[in-house]
């Protein structure tokens, strides 16, 4: 994951960049390869904002969050992006044809493995 950061009207902060990179580790579970993240930090009086753009092989998403501190804003935007990526992953899973999905393959395999035994009439 390649992370590029930009500070608007602020001094560069290595601690804030490290904090953001740690929080972005949550997005690794969505297996977006290759992935680039562009983060923009800005402050307007008492309101801090963080904006993130994620660009992957087949995905492009962005989110913005505001907070009292940059840490709060980073947590908010990572939460928003996590929800967006989770929803996208679920849509892809549901959109795929059932026969080609792992659930469809398992259903076919179970149907093939079922054995039907004929009833035997007893003479007597």
Q: What share of the chain has pLDDT > 90, as a percent?
A: 48
How far CA 16 is from CA of 12, 97, 98, in Å, comes to 9, 43, 44
Of 2, 77, 64, give the one whose Cα is nearest residue 35: 2
For the entire predicted model, the pTM comes to: 0.71
Task: Specify whether the CB–CB gap between 78 and 27 falls below 8 A.
Answer: yes
d(CA 97, CA 62): 28
Of 101, 81, 95, 103, give the one whose Cα is nearest residue 32: 81
Along the 124 residues of the chain, how does pLDDT read in single tens digits? 899 999 998 899 999 999 999 999 888 887 777 789 999 999 988 899 999 999 988 889 999 999 999 999 999 999 999 999 888 888 877 766 666 666 677 777 777 676 666 677 777 5
Walk across the sheet containing 36-44 and list its strands: 2-8, 36-44, 47-55, 60-67
Pick among 3.40.190.10, 3.30.160.100, 3.90.1150.10, 1.10.357.140: CATH of 2-112: 3.30.160.100
């Amino acid at each position: 994951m390649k992370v590029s950061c930009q500070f608007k009207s602020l001094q560069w902060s290595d601690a804030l960049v490290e904090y953001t990179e740690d929080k972005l580790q949550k997005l690794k579970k969505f297996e977006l390869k290759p992935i680039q993240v562009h983060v923009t930090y800005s402050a307007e009086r008492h309101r801090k904002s963080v904006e993130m753009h994620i660009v992957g092989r087949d995905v492009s998403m962005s989110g913005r969050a505001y907070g009292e501190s940059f840490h709060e804003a980073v947590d908010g935007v990572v939460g928003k992006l996590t929800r967006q990526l989770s929803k996208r992953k679920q849509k892809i899973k549901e959109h795929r044809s059932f026969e080609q999905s792992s659930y469809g393959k398992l259903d076919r395999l179970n149907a093939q493995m079922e054995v039907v035994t004929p009833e035997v009439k007893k003479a007597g």
